Structure 1
Amino acid sequence: MLLLIKNELMKLFGKKSSWIYMLIILVAVIAAGILQNNFTGEPNENWRGETQATVSQLQKDLEAAPAEDKEWIAVELERQQTYLDENINPTAMSNWHFMNQTVIGVSMLVTLFAVIVSSASVSAEFADGTIKQLLIRPHGRWAILLSKYISLIIYSILLLATLIVSGFLVGTIIFGSGDFGAKFVEMTLEGQKIAELGPQFFLKVLYYLPSLLIVITISFMLSTLFKSQALAVGIGIFVLFVSSTLGGLIVFLAEKYTWAKYLIFPHLDLTVYALQDEILSGVTLPVSILTLSVYYIIFMVLTFSIFQKRDISI
């Protein structure tokens, strides 16, 4: 099995595209750092005085504002007051601010490239006509398919590692080294949350991993279903981009239909749990993990069953 995995990794890294994806992530992180530095500017040393003035103005605005504007003014007032109470400089910027905000956003590229590579994994063998040569080896079909799957997971983790390492280096060079445990305020659907920069970043990464695994698995399944590489990759990317939209729609459906809570799409982005306890009423992290686990087993059984019985004639 180890030899099969090594062979698949060699095939992956023998393609220029595999290295180009890593380079794109690096360039995206550098560009994001430069842009954010241009927009944020230098930290304000007199932030307490300015924040206190903002709080005073918001208090006056809240009293005079019409009813429809009071809610958002109250939310902003609470946020500004929290900066003062918790001694959090809202203009502060360090490598951990950059990691927690911008680098997490760039992780979408990791997902996209993982989908492209996974969707093409098996379908490319059919498209190139190498599938027969692959299967005449003295290994079971399941072993060959599993080695491909494991190599895709390893490659995706390397993409994520590229993002994290480059993000830390770029953030440190541009914004300087900051306090790993510094507090900051994040706004969520449930209100504001006070968190520590470093731990919050790694918590988001931890919650990102199951979502990445499921997306890889779906893409890999599509790769075994279609002989056309273009079709498999196209459908994989389509599923990736519509998943967030469908997830939002299902959130509204779930208020009326209980069964909607157990569809896969609302659970694909577990990083939401780094910000709030529930994504839907009664749907907590354990529920989402259990739901994804059931779908994962279904996808894996389908993938290996289809490949075991598939006609490999080209």
Structure 2
Amino acid sequence: MMNLVKNEWVKIFAKKSSWIYFILLAVFLIILTVATAYIDQEKTVSNWRPGVEQEIADLKQQQEDPKLEAGEKEDLAQQAAEKQFYLDQNVNPSLKSNWQYANSDGVSLFSTVALFCVIIASTSVASEFSDGTIKQLLIRPHRRWKILLSKYISVVAYSLLLLFFLAAANVIAGTFLYGTGDFGAKIAETPMTFGGGEPVISAVGNMYIEKILLFIPNLIMVVTISFMLSTLFKSQSMAVGFGIFVLFMNSALNIGVQLLIGLKQEWAKLLLFPHLELMQFSAAEEILPGVTLMFSLAVLLVYYILFMAITFFFFQRKDVSI
């Protein structure tokens, strides 16, 4: 089995595209870092509390203006409450560091990793049919399921390598931009869930690592779906097209699920799409009413078993005549 995995691993890196994805991630990160350096030229203020206290006082003074409408006063009050929250929790809102950059801007490129992994997974089996090399694999003294499993393991391993490469590169880029920061510095992370919520206080380094760990199940799930499509379609372009469609339509379909739940359609919680954005749990206990991290992981596990069963079932019975 290990020899099969090594063989598939060599196949992946024999393709120029597998190396190009690493280069593209580095290029995208450099562009993002340069743009951030150009737009955000503020530095961390160590003695930040007096400045925030003055901002709160100015906001309260502005609220006393009789010419302001009720909506404008409410907006000013909300801004003052947000700044007071920073004071109460002793969180520096001007914090700039390598960990802060990785946690905020760097994670935005995780979706790019998912895109590249979808392409790799979608072509893993379909390309063997398109190129006519599938027969050469199946005439070897190995069972079909072992051949397919070795391909799947190598694709997942490559996907994780690509993710960890970007995760480390984010911190390095942030170091060039802001210098080395405190791993344990406190930040206020605002929930990105449908219902919003109060900001969560956490160490910036811990928050970044937590986001990486939460992204891994989503990445593996997307890779698994793409790999399944690769076994179902002989056409390489069709497999890639469906894989990318699933990836990019997830957000739109997720909004539809949220609307269904808002209409008291509780069965919508069992659909796959709301559970493909686990990074939301880094700042929220529930991403939807009643949908906790353990609930999402349980749903993903059920779908994972289903997709893997479909993948191996159809590959075992697939006609290899081309």
Q: TM-score range by the shorter chain?
A: over 0.9
Aligned to 1:281: 289
Rounded Cα–Cα distance in structure 2 between residues aligned with 1:173 and 1:137: 50
1:209 paired with 2:212, answer: no
Q: Is the 8 A contact 2:92 2:186 kept in 1?
A: no
- Give the SS at the match of 1:3: helix
Pick aligned residue for 2:172 from 169, 192, 208: 169
Counterparts of 1:216-255 in structure 2, within 5 Å, are 216-255=223-262
Rounded Cα–Cα distance in structure 2 between residues aligned with 1:74 and 1:201: 31
Moved more, 82-91 or 188-197: 82-91
1:123 paired with 2:126, answer: yes
Q: Is the 8 A contact 1:40 1:91 kept in 2?
A: no
| Cα separation, partners in 2 of 1:132 and 1:287, compared to 1, 3 Å | same
Rounded Cα–Cα distance in structure 2 between residues aligned with 1:40 and 1:283: 36
Pick aligned residue for 2:115 from 112, 117, 128: 112
Pick aligned residue for 2:100 from 93, 97, 100: 97
Counterparts of 1:46-195 in structure 2, within 5 Å, are 47-62=48-63, 66-69=69-72, 72-188=75-191, 189-195=196-202
- Sequence identity percentage: 47
1:243-297 Cα shifts (integer Å, max 9, x gaps): 0111122011112201101100000010010011111111111110111010000
| Cα separation, partners in 2 of 1:72 and 1:278, compared to 1, 3 Å | farther
Rounded Cα–Cα distance in structure 2 between residues aligned with 1:8 and 1:209: 21
Q: Is the 8 A contact 1:44 1:92 kept in 2?
A: yes
Structure 1, unmatched stretches of 5+, are none
Deviation at 1:83, TM superposition (A): 2.3
- Return the TM-score normalized by structure 2: 0.93
Deviation at 1:61, TM superposition (A): 4.3
CA RMSD, Structure 1 to Structure 2 (Å):
1.6
Q: Is the 8 A contact 2:119 2:244 kept in 1?
A: yes
Rounded Cα–Cα distance in structure 2 between residues aligned with 1:88 and 1:294: 40
| Cα separation, partners in 2 of 1:233 and 1:91, compared to 1, 3 Å | same
Q: Which amino acid aligns with 2:185?
A: A
Q: Is the 8 A contact 2:260 2:268 kept in 1?
A: yes
Structure 2, unmatched stretches of 5+, are none
Rounded Cα–Cα distance in structure 2 between residues aligned with 1:264 and 1:115: 17
Aligned to 1:308: 316
1:271 paired with 2:279, answer: yes
Rounded Cα–Cα distance in structure 1 between residues aligned with 2:122 and 2:44: 47
Rounded Cα–Cα distance in structure 1 between residues aligned with 2:73 and 2:158: 50
Rounded Cα–Cα distance in structure 1 between residues aligned with 2:166 and 2:99: 14
- Return the TM-score normalized by structure 1: 0.95
